[in-house]
Structures are given as structure tokens and as C-alpha cells.
Chains A and B, each alone.
Chain A
Amino acid sequence: MNFATRLLLELQETTLLAARAFRGIFKRPRYIPETIAQMDAIGVGSLTIIILTGFFTGGVLTVQTFPTLKSYGAQSQTGYLVAVSLVRELGPVLCALMVTGRVGSAISAELGSMVVSQQIDAMRALGTDPIRKLVAPRLWALLVSLPLLTVLADVLGIFGGWVTAVALYSVSSSTFISAVRDGITTDDLIGGVVKPLVFSLIIGTIACRQGLSTEGGTVGVGRSTTRAVVNASIIVIIADYFLAKALQVILGTS
């Protein structure tokens, strides 16, 4: 099988998996406790890394941009630049990449281990659809958690930028906050939530697909985990490019 055929086959299987998972949402039994448990593992479990990532990204944005802005006499716009960069781009993408590393790998490894130890076959043999029981709750949990984590990363990023601007560069607090308010528009906020929704679908379906298609024992689990993280990360970045342009066209900001 050549590369193009493999790629198309993989795309087809991943799309079918997502479609089956969403179809399953509307049928009984509904796995609400499993979905809540996944939200806890994915959302609450990722809080620490998202807080740290958001705060320090905002901080470093201030560190890198303040001297340049100052040379143009535009240092009062630091808050504007930090907020727009974070809400439009860095918040959604960095959050998605961090969640891919932490959650995507865990989903793929867990499902992969279940495949090689025949637990998935056992589940099917017991009359339970693993896509509804395992995939759908993880997708739902990502769809709810990632936008919330992104909003948190944005807020903490702006906070990190504010702390840095005020503490290191003596920018007044009111100047920074007013620049932030000027910078963020409703369109930015819409884009900042739509992007993580799409990213969560990408991360969830790719991680679940890679996990469920694991072959070759424990070595295979390692391979599928690596593939899940690499593929999801690359596709998130590619999707971000097209989403950014699509949102500009849809929201009329291009």
C-alpha cells in the first residue's frame, strides 16, 4: 500500500470513528459517569500544565515585545499585543499542543494496552460497543475541557504579561489593562473558542484511532502513542492555519 492510499485509508477510518462516536451519543446507554470521569482526568488533570504554560507564555511575550515596542514609542500597547497574540493564536494552539502531549498520549496508550491485552475484544464480546463506551466519553470530555482550558490559559497569559510589564518594565497597571480591552474584540473571542473545539476533535479522534488500531504488543503501544502525538500536533498546527483564514473570511475581518 503506497503512502497516498494509506493516508486516505487512515483519514477514512478516523472520520468513521468520529462519526460512530457522535452517533453513539444519542443512543442508550449514555455513559455520563465515564464522561465526567474523563472530564476530571482531561480537564482538571491538565490544569497545572495549562496554568504554567499560560502564565509564562504571557510573561515571555511581554519580555520579548516590550523593548521593540519601546523603540517605536509604543510601549503602552504591550497589553494590546499580549492579549491579541494570546487570544487569537498562542492560547488555543499552545493549549492544544500541551493537551496533545499529556492527554492524547494517555488516551492512545490506554486504548492500545487494552487492544493488546484483548480487553477491547472482551468488551465487544460482552455486547458493549467500545466506541460508545470509550471513545465517545473521551471526545465529549475534550470538547468541553479544551475550550475552558484555553480560556484559562488566555486569562493567565494576560495576567503573566501584566505581572511582567508592571514588575519589570514599570508599565502602569491601568495602561496595560486598557490596552488589553482595546485589543480584544468579540471576533477574537469567538475565534478563541471555535479553534479549541476543532482541535479537541482532532486530538480525540486521532488519539483514539491510533490507540484502537494498535498492533504488535507492547512495542506497538509505544508506536501508536508516538504516532498519536506527532500526527495530532502536526494536524493541529496545519488546521490552525486554515481555521485562522476561514474565521477571518466568515467573521469579515480579512
Chain B
Amino acid sequence: MSAEIHISSSTISEQAAESTFHEVDDRERAIPAIEFRNVVLAFDDRIILNNLSFKVMKGETKIILGGSGGGKSTIIKLVLGLLKPDEGQVLVEGEDVTNYSEDQMMKVRKNIGMVFQEGALFDSLSVYDNVAFRLHEQGVPEDEVEPEVRRMLRFVNLEDAIEKMPIELSGGMRRRVGIARALVGDPKIVLFDEPTAGLDPPTARTICELAMKLRDLEDVSSIFVTHEMNNLQYICSEYAVVDEDGKVVFEREGERLCLINSKVMMMKEGKVIFSGTDEALRRAEDPYIQRFLRGH
């Protein structure tokens, strides 16, 4: 089933999502945080991405679903300029970064946070030095670095692990340190590359909650690559709010509002086979999507 069919059968909530950006009196917000225009990428004879186009609006979380080898993680590498497309354009904050040199990309990357599948922590550095890496590289004085590192580690509930080495951390803790490291400097775009793969459900839920907090409380635009349906369930049906006591709590969609800032894109063999809301995804008749949703 093509993306166009879904767009033509859009629901009221989808139309509301579109209208949000017209109503907001801020032209900057109408510029997509990330945009792919007809991107093609092949390794030798194998086509990884086939004429891929999509947008991630400001404050939106785009969940990219699909099986292994479908080109999901490649999208993230293209955003960061770790790979270059063979054809098409990649735009970040409205800026065409397709042909940027490595030096130019370094400046773009400073405004993007990236969470890797296994955390990708630097083995030789402590948790503190991992999280502080970006600040140390920018030459920020140490008395400013420590409060920022502690703030980020508090955000992921890992302040106690500040002195530990990566080898001493569990898989879930490594991912959370990876998130803290990605968030230093308050980037407005965060990319998650299968951050819950191989984690137990409660830890996976914690990672999703962090992504929801970024979306709902920090106005961060993000791409969340995953193949786990639990992630989709959490991110598309719950939202983070601060209660009267100042604590962050998660409420279910429909209790007070309907979530419109999370969209789903499903990929198969380098092509987008679905783009829309999670509700529309569940109604899709494509056999591959149905099999993916059912898990068999």
C-alpha cells in the first residue's frame, strides 16, 4: 500500500496535524527539522534507499518501522552526513546538507543528538567524560561542564553512575548514558537508532519515556528507528506532562488531548510503504504491515 493512498484517506486527527503548522504564528516552525527529497542510495548493486522522501516537522517524533536491512538506520546516517546519498537532497533545518564537506557537517552535527543502538560509549572514558565529551571538545571550562553533565545524568536518572566506566554498566544504563551524551548542548534534533533493541521491557519503556519527555517537554524533533511494536504503542499513545508537584508523569492519549506530533513511517526494502498516524497504520491492509503488527 503506498503512502499516497494513506494520505488521501487521512483521518480528522491527521488533518489537525497538518493544520497545526498553519495556525502557529512562527514561520520558523513551518520549516521541517529534517527533510529527504527523492533520496537514492545503493551499495554496489544493492539499493538501500529507493527514491525516499519525507519530512520531520519541528517538535515531531517520526517513528521509522521496518524489518532488519530495510534501510532504517541508513536514514539516520544520511541526516548526520556519515553517508552521502547517490541522488536526491537531505535538508536539516531547511539547509541543504547533501554536498557539505566533513568540516561543514561538523557544524551541523553540533545541533543534532544521536543515540546509538548499543550506546556507542567511549570505552576508555568514564560516564562523566563520555557525557562531557562534546563540551570538552568545545573547550568549555570545567566548572561549567560538571553542572551540565549532572543535569543530563539526572534527566536519565543516572547521576549515581557518574564515576563509573562503561564496562561497569548494564545494557539499559549504557543506552541512557548514550542519551545523556546526545542531549548535551540541548540539541533541537535527536536521532534514535534502535535504542531499545535487546533490552527488557521495563528498561525499553524507560528509554521510550525519555524520548516522550524530549518531545513533549523540550520541543525536540526526533527520528526514532525501531522494529519493536511496544515502542510505537508507548510513543504514539502517551504524553509527558509536569504535575502539580513538579514531577513528570505520563498520561494516555484521549484523557485530555489527542497526540498529533508523532507520525509513523514504515519501510520495506528501501521504500516507504506507509506514512501516517499509528491509528492509520493499524487499519492498513498491506499484508506485510499486518504481519509486522501481529508479529507472525
A residues bordering B, Cβ < 8 Å? 29, 113, 117-119, 121-129
The count of A-to-B residue pairs whose CB atoms sit within 8 angstroms is: 54
A127-B120 contact in complex given A29-B137, A121-B82, A122-B114, C-beta closer than 8 Å = no
Cross-chain contact A118 with B116 (CB below 8 angstroms): yes
Contact call A129/B106, Cβ cutoff below 8 A: yes
Once A124-B82, A125-B80 are accepted as A-B contacts, the answer to whether A118 and B137 lie under 8 Å apart by CB is no
- The answer to whether A118 touches B118, judged by C-beta atoms less than 8 angstroms apart, is yes
Q: B56-99 vs A: 1/0 string, CB under 8 Å? A: 00000000000000000000010010100000000000000000
Against A, the Cβ 8 Å flags (1 = close, 0 = not) of B109-135 are: 110101011101111000000000110
For A122, the chain B residues whose CB sits under 8 A away are: 114, 116, 120-122, 181
Q: Tell me whether B160 is interfacial, beta carbon within 8 Å.
A: no
Does B139 interact with chain A (Cβ within 8 Å)?
Answer: yes
Q: A29-B137, A118-B116 are in contact. Are A127 and B122 (CB under 8 A)?
A: no
B166-222 interface (Cβ within 8 A of A): 181-182
24 contacts between A and B (CB under 8 A): A29-B137, A113-B123, A117-B118, A117-B120, A117-B123, A119-B123, A121-B77, A121-B82, A121-B120, A122-B114, A122-B116, A122-B121, A124-B109, A125-B182, A126-B134, A126-B137, A127-B107, A127-B109, A127-B110, A127-B134, A128-B106, A128-B133, A128-B134, A129-B103
A127 and B123 contact, Cβ closer than 8 Å, known pairs A29-B139, A117-B118: no
B102 on the A face (CB < 8 A): yes
Q: A29-B137, A121-B82, A124-B82 are in contact. Are A129 and B123 (CB under 8 A)?
A: no
Among A113, A117, A124, A126, the most chain B Cβ lie within 10 Å of the Cβ of: A126
Known interface pairs A113-B123, A128-B134; 10 further A-B residue pairs with C-beta atoms within 8 A, sorted by A's residue number: A118-B117, A119-B121, A122-B121, A122-B181, A124-B109, A125-B82, A125-B109, A126-B109, A127-B107, A127-B134
Q: Which residues of B contact A123 (CB under 8 A)?
A: 122
Provide the residues of chain B in CB contact with A121, threshold 8 Å.
Answer: 77, 80, 82, 116, 120
A128–B137 contact, CB under 8 A? yes
- B120 interface neighbour in A119, A128, A129, Cβ under 8 Å: A119
Chain B residue with Cβ nearest A28: B139
- How far is the CB of A30 from the nearest CB of chain B, in Å? 11
Residues on the B chain within 8 Å of A124, using CB: 80, 82, 109
Q: How far is the CA of A253 from the CA of B224 in the complex (A)?
A: 67
Tell me which of A113, A118, A125, A126 has the highest count of chain B C-beta atoms within 10 A of its own C-beta.
A125
Write out the residue numbers on chain A whose beta carbons fall within 8 Å of the beta carbon of B121. Answer: 119, 122
Flag if B114 contacts A125 (CB, 8 Å): yes
Which residues of A sit under 8 angstroms from B102, Cβ to Cβ? 129
Most buried by A among B82, B106, B107, B120: B120
A residues within 8 A CB of B120?
117-119, 121-122
Chain A residues closer than 8 Å to B110, beta-carbon distance: 127
